[in-house]
Amino acid sequence: MIKVGIAVGTRPEAIKICPLILELKEKGIECHLIMSGQHVDLVTDVLETFGIQPHINLSISNKDGNLGSYFSDLLYGFSKYLADNNYDLFLVHGDTLTATAAALACYLRQVKVGHVESGLRTSNIFNPFPEEGNREIIDILSTFKFAPTQLAYSNLVNKDFSIVTGNTGIDAVRTMYQVFKNNKFNLKRFLDDEYHLKERNYLLVTLHRRESFGAYHQRILESIKRVSNKIEIVYILHPNPSIKNLALSELSNHQNIRLLDPQSYSNFFYLMLGARAIVTDSGGIQEEAFALGIPLFVARDNTERPEILASNCNHLVGDNQANLVGLVEKMLKNDLEQPRGFQVTEIGDGLASSRIASFILKNMD
């Protein structure tokens, strides 16, 4: 039996890796999920949603915010774990420090690495930071590269043992939406009961990118304050103190801005479905919103997921206040509602996990 280790540190990683774990197990592959300890509570919530138990939590947290020392701790933690545990293949997802440290630890012990969501690029090593550098490093170290789109595949320098699979995050969206539809979930009642919100009557906002810390983030928050004069804002606070404290200081005590702590995966999914539009710098949320037909304003100067910009409802707004305010005003004047529901797009059809699992079975010695 093939034995696979899987590294997870953040909630986005967990969301995108859970459908793959279920698929691997269904195909008879033994899977061990190794949590780094980066976002324990948020990851645990996602795992519980999908009925998955972690094999171990390495309990490595970023105590002082220093990326160098944190990466060193992660590398040592995964290296020590791998010294006592043998795997035929180790899977990492995306571009986090957890994924990069796990991939490097595996390389140093000559364990094959599979990179899920391989090939994404902005071609700016500092934007997003440190994700752009991380994903390039992981691709160099990986034996198997699972590219979500044809464009991502074209970015790979070495295409040996590489394949276009679609995005496993879209697999998760498809699963969640099927549950939503099959259970005839009453979204209007949920939003009113849980949050006193009206469907399609608020903007959902999430911000967390490290390269946005400081003046850039400040300008985005100023834009949010101006937009709040036109529509209610639901702002999800990120646990990182550097970005959370600024949001609290700038957005608290504004009548039309609601500040919420991180929500459960299912609750956040319903908040997305009910929003008029989403303002975010998150890569995963860009994908989820696109797959569900939710209008999107990306608070970044570029995106490694340019496919989403094919929709005239999705826009790069960066930190330009006039840009965001103008686009929101235009959206609010448009009475046509964007159809909501899971849809097959350029970034995925909900079947990526099956393709990855089949590829692993076919290509493992």
Q: Give the model confidence (pLDDT) of 132-144 as tens digits.
A: 999 999 999 999 9
Tokens 């171990």 locate to 56
Lowest mean pLDDT among 10-19, 32-41, 43-52, 59-68: 59-68
Task: List the CATH code of the domain at 185-333.
Answer: 3.40.50.2000
Q: What is the DSSP letter of 55?
A: S
**Which residues are catalytically annotated?**
95, 117, 131, 208, 210, 238
Q: Which residues is 362 bridged to in the sheet?
A: none
Helix (H) and strand (E) counts in the chain: 14, 13
**Mean pLDDT, to the nearest integer, of 273-295?**
94
Q: Domain locations in the chain?
A: 3-166+350-363, 185-333
* Residue 354: per-residue pLDDT: 97
Distance CA 219, CA 17 (A): 34
Q: Which residues is 35 bridged to in the sheet?
A: 8, 57
Q: Give the model confidence (pLDDT) of 79-134 as tens digits.
A: 999 999 999 999 999 999 999 999 999 999 999 999 999 999 999 999 889 999 99
Output the CA torsion sign for 214, 309, 225, 246.
negative
Question: Cβ(166)–Cβ(23) under 8 Å?
Answer: no
Q: Which CATH number is 3-166+350-363's, of 3.40.640.10, 3.40.50.720, 3.40.30.10, 3.40.50.2000?
A: 3.40.50.2000
Question: Cβ(308)–Cβ(285) under 8 Å?
Answer: no
- How far is CA 159 from its chain centroid? 24
Q: Give the model confidence (pLDDT) of 200-239 as tens digits.
A: 999 999 998 776 677 888 899 999 999 999 999 999 998 8
Please give the helix or strand (H or E) that residue 92 lies within, else none.
strand 89-93
Please give the helix or strand (H or E) that residue 182 lies within, else none.
helix 168-182
For the CA atoms of 288, 10, 96, 276, what is the dihedral angle to 10 degrees? 30
* Residue 199: per-residue pLDDT: 94
pTM of the full structure: 0.92
**Mean pLDDT, to the nearest integer, of 244-262?**
92
* Residue 127: per-residue pLDDT: 86
Domains 3-166+350-363 and 185-333 share a fold: yes
Tokens 């060193």 locate to 72
292: confidence class by pLDDT, cuts 50, 70, 90:
very high
For the cut 80, the answer to whether the pLDDT of residue 336 exceeds it is no
